[in-house]
Amino acid sequence: MLIAMALMTVMNALAKSLAESYPLTEVTFFRNLFALVPAAAMVAAGGRQCLRTTHPLGHAWRSVIGLTSMLLLFWSYHLMPLANAVAISYAAPLFVTALSVPLLGERVRAHRWSAVGVGFIGVLVMVRPSGEAIDSGALVALAAAFSYALAMIAMRQLGRTERPVTTVFYFTLICTVLTGLTLPFAWVTPDWHGFALMALMGLAGAGSQYFSTRAYSLAPAVVIGPFSYSGLLWATLLGWLMWGDVPTPVVLTGAGIVILSGLIVLLREARGTAPAAKSRVAVGGANGPTATAG
């Protein structure tokens, strides 16, 4: 998981850097295009059954909402320091908990609602709403977290019947096609340096997804989950090295509150599901959106 989060932060930093010279949709297209290569290789290794699905509309919806989250997240990187955007994106698991009640019919106990409430206090600390408008970057990052939560809900629903490799392949394929359709309207021909960075961005994203999936196959989510928060450390380091950005104490305090609430939920979940934890394999992106960012 530590490797996964390091690779994801590299992907995010490259997306932020590339968005300064290329249209956002073009950056997102190349991120998905190069990630499609290892996804196709997984399908080839698994056989034709990996392409079979009984929920084509479910894959379409998961791809559209996941692509929306990715675009918003990359946009937030362009609007604000990388570590700030990553910190706000940690609100995604809070949204997942809240949305699991109406959309999945799950029962959320009082302790989880309490932790979610504490987490949203941390979010408010980071975005600092006042009489003036909230910073546009913070609003975009929050919208990315919310749409990522919807994508995770969709993945939970698909996960009941679909293979993980099937979901990954169709998500990457559909996102590549949708962003490809925008290229005639927003295109800047990349030079060799830009093209190489875009390739590295896509491969880093694919590598992050592989290592996070592998991590969840080796240990229960309650063990792996906390390590996803290392993404904030990587984002702070790269943000400082590349742009001289340092998170303010207010942002770090809010991020700490959100992370603490997430850890409380994980620990409480572990107590209630410990007997079954070893028999389940969780698949998904860590950090929430930065995982995903697809």
CB 75 within 8 A of CB 293: no
Count of Cβ atoms closer than 10 Å to residue 253 Cβ:
14
User: Which pLDDT belongs to residue 114?
Assistant: 86
The Cα–Cα gap between 288 and 294 comes to: 9
Does pLDDT of 34 surpass 50?
yes
In this prediction, residues 194-202 reach a mean pLDDT of 94
CB 147 within 8 A of CB 65: yes
The Cα–Cα gap between 123 and 114 comes to: 14
Does pLDDT of 276 surpass 60?
no
Annotated domain spans of the chain: 2-291
Does pLDDT of 288 surpass 60?
no
Instruction: Label residue 230 exposed, middle or buried (CB < 10 Å: 0-12, 13-18, 19+).
Output: middle
Question: pLDDT band for position 285 (50/70/90)?
Answer: very low
Q: Which of 52, 66, 57 is nearest to 290 (CA)?
A: 66
Q: Quick: pLDDT tens for 95-154.
A: 888 888 888 777 777 777 888 888 889 888 888 765 454 678 889 999 999 999 898 888
Count of Cβ atoms closer than 10 Å to residue 53 Cβ:
17
Q: Which of 183, 258, 266, 255 is nearest to 225 (CA)?
A: 266
CA 199 to chain centre: 19
Average model confidence (pLDDT) for the chain?
Answer: 84
The string of DSSP letters for 88-117 reads HHTTHHHHHHHHHHHHH-----HHHHHHHH
Question: pLDDT band for position 222 (50/70/90)?
Answer: low
The Cα–Cα gap between 283 and 278 comes to: 14
Give the H or E element holding residue 6.
helix 2-18
The string of DSSP letters for 163-184 reads -HHHHHHHHHHHHHHHHHTTTT
Q: What share of the chain is helix, strand, coil (3-state, %, to 5)?
A: 80, 0, 20
pTM for the structure as a whole: 0.84
Q: Quick: pLDDT tens for 179-193.
A: 999 999 999 999 999
